[in-house]
Amino acid sequence: MKKEKDLKLYGIFGHPLSHTLSPAMHEAAFRQLGINASYIVLELVPAAFKKMMSRSSELVLSGFNVTVPYKETVMRYLDEVRPEARAIGAVNTVYRRGKRWIGTNTDMEGFLIALGRDGKFHPFGKNAVILGAGGAARAVVYGLSREGAREVLITDCFPEKARRIANAMRRLFPKTLFRAVPAGNQKVKEALQKADVIINATPLGLKPGDPEIVPSSWIPEAGRQKKLFMDLVYNPAKTSFLKAAKSKGHKTLNGLGMLLHQGARALEYWTGRKAPAETMREALFLALKEKRG
């Protein structure tokens, strides 16, 4: 039996975190790989998170994930941020190299893998609407643009955040047309008509009483041109956003695949081992089933 002192600790920082399934898939992966490690939930309010990260050299963790609302905040506390994560402007995975903390972004990789494998969607030459302008939205916009999307519209209730993403991405991807508009603007409704993929990158949909991310009346009937509606929320599996799109005849995809694939890449950064993706997928499905009772 391995000694308790050899136990490695990993975890996730965010707020709130009652919905997270990350512990289930990472614990299953550690068991499958024979790694003596545990994955813990670290739900902290902003002040507590900043205080802890200001003393990051004292953390006993061997690596960690970062989720809403700290994907951008965490960057200032790290010793190094990998170039792609720096370009995206958000970090979701942090790993150690000696005594140094290094930040990367596996959200973008996880998103693209899920989009292609599960959604059967390829961004090249396509039009996209991104709902939200946080850290996850940054990864999504970067991924779509890197893969050759023709036009990307970003909308948020804080328009300046959307504009910052659009301005940053224009410099990196001059062949893609970027637009930023306030949430609820008529231009969002117009963009939904011609978009090939619409992605909810906000937390709206996590709770039953959440307002609509866009009015369901704005979603056009599918007809011959079925669009892909993707929600980065994975619990519940069918948010009101996806239900509204499905009722109009469109294809839908939730965020479980993205969660799986970003988690698999994170584990590979932490351990240097190939992630057992199918074991992690099974653990996610089981955890979801238990949460739903």
- Mean pLDDT calculated for residue range 9-19: 94
**Model pLDDT, residue 4:** 59
Cβ neighbours of residue 128 closer than 8 Å, sequence gap 6 or more: 144, 149, 151, 152, 153, 195, 196, 197, 198, 199
**Model pLDDT, residue 281:** 97
Domains parsed from the chain with CATH numbers: 4-105+259-291 (3.40.50.10860), 109-254 (3.40.50.720)
**Model pLDDT, residue 52:** 96
pTM over 0.85: yes
Confidence of residue 1 (pLDDT cuts 50, 70, 90): very low
Asked if 40 contacts 23 with a C-beta cutoff of 8 angstroms, the reply is yes
User: Average pLDDT, whole number, for the chain?
Assistant: 95
**194 annotated active-site:** no
Q: Note the Cα 23 to chain centre separation in Å.
A: 16
Tens of pLDDT, residues 46-78: 999 999 999 999 999 999 999 989 999 999 999
Single out the catalytic residue among 71, 126, 161, 227.
71
d(C-alpha 128, C-alpha 151), whole Å: 6
**Model pLDDT, residue 292:** 79
Tens of pLDDT, residues 165-183: 999 999 999 999 999 999 9
Cis preceding-peptide flag for 236 (omega within 30 of 0): yes
- Mean pLDDT calculated for residue range 80-95: 96
d(C-alpha 103, C-alpha 64), whole Å: 10
pLDDT at 238 over 60: yes
Confidence of residue 273 (pLDDT cuts 50, 70, 90): very high
For residue 248, count other CB atoms closer than 10 A to its CB.
16
d(C-alpha 281, C-alpha 286), whole Å: 9
**Model pLDDT, residue 223:** 83
